[in-house]
Amino acid sequence: MIPLVVPPLGLPADEPIHVSCWLVSPGDQVVEGDRLVELLIGEITFDVSSPASGRLVSVSADVDEPVTPGSVLGKIATEEKSL
């Protein structure tokens, strides 16, 4: 499982960050680099992209939930390749 985390955004520590919206749902296939979730900081929206290809298996932060840099937003199961 690969964690999807809030990246360091270089903002003051007291600046609140909230999940604005999820662009995918648990069970959806994702490709590395796909936009998965939007974070809202003040009036600015930041996209968090998938760190790997696979399937989003869980979401740990709901819409409007506050998060901090390093917080786990969800988990991605990578596809096992058969030989």
- 22 lies in some domain: yes
**Does 6 score more than 80 pLDDT?**
yes
3-state class of 12 per DSSP?
coil
Any domain includes 76: no
Task: Give the CA-trace dihedral at 42, 10, 50, 19, to 10 degrees.
Answer: -20
Domain ranges, residue 38: 18-63
The pLDDT tens digits for 10-23 are 777 677 899 999 99
Give the number of domains in the chain.
1
The tokens describing 13, both together, are: 């520590």
Residue 79 located in a structural domain: no
Q: Is residue 46's pLDDT more than 50?
A: yes
Position 83 scores a pLDDT of 43
pTM of the full predicted structure?
Answer: 0.84
